[in-house]
Amino acid sequence: MSVFPGFGGWINQNSQQPPKAESKRSENVESNSEPPLEFKYYDKDEVDKQVQLWIEEDKKYPWKDAPPKVKVTRKKGLYHMHIELTKGRVPESVYLLFANPLNNQYFQDFDGHNFLENKSRKLLLKDGPRRIAEVEKVVSWKFLWFSGALPISLIVEDNQKYLTGNYKKKNVKFMKVFEGSWKVEPLFIDSERLCKQIKPKSREEYKKCSGGRGRIASKVTMEQIFQPSFPLNLPPFSWIIRGITIKTTKNLLDVAP
């Protein structure tokens, strides 16, 4: 089962904090001063219910995340990676997985090794649910018999209301181009069992036809474009960089609970 660890507790712990007023600002702000999820952009009670529902229903109808589906194409030297995956938890928690700057623990393997470490994050702009930040991370990679750690610097934009985000490189070693986007959408996974002939198109319809017992999972779609720098854009180096990038991205998504 893949319910987001501690998500319900995180909500309860922070429910006493008043929502921050929407404002535009361009000064640099450390990430911990900015709450990762603001309550005005989602229904806290419904998310609480979904977290509890996942815990209860998983005993009778266990869920197992399928491996990510990855398709890679190449055109004019640019690699385009399209990824689709499902996660057995509510969309708001999956959004946190991507957007929360303090989520290091969710990318650990069984030995406690971090595949992704967040070194720093500075908020550049906040406009309602939209945030733009400069982030520095260290990504661990393994490919064939080789392994290492790669520092990366990105400009990241996310939207709490629409559960979307995009990123582009500020400085990524060995990469001339490195950018992408992601979005999280609800999956009404119990609709066939609970809603009979009805195919719900919204959370409201799903709640009504399932009698409030339908779990909401998440569909994640990612697009990533990258191009190695010269001379690594030439074979056989380009094949190695391509393999490392694809495998590392899949590892991060597979490890995330």
Taking only the tens place, the pLDDT of each residue in 189-202 is 999 999 988 899 99
Q: Which domain holds residue 107?
A: 23-33+42-255
In a domain, 96, yes or no: yes
In a domain, 170, yes or no: yes
> Which among 110, 67, 64, 111 is positioned nearest to 89, based on CA atoms?
64
Taking only the tens place, the pLDDT of each residue in 101-147 is 554 443 444 344 456 677 788 889 999 899 999 988 877 766 666 66
DSSP state of 42: S
> Which among 224, 229, 220 is positioned nearest to 245, based on CA atoms?
224
Decide if 160 contacts 176 (C-beta within 8 A).
Answer: no
Instruction: Specify the pLDDT at position 17.
Output: 38
In a domain, 16, yes or no: no
- CATH number, position 147: 3.30.530.20
**Is the bond leading into 236 cis (omega within 30 degrees of zero)?**
yes
* For range 49-77, the mean pLDDT: 88
Residues of the chain with pLDDT > 90: what percent?
Answer: 33
In a domain, 5, yes or no: no
List the structure tokens of 251.
């590892």
Q: What's the pTM?
A: 0.77
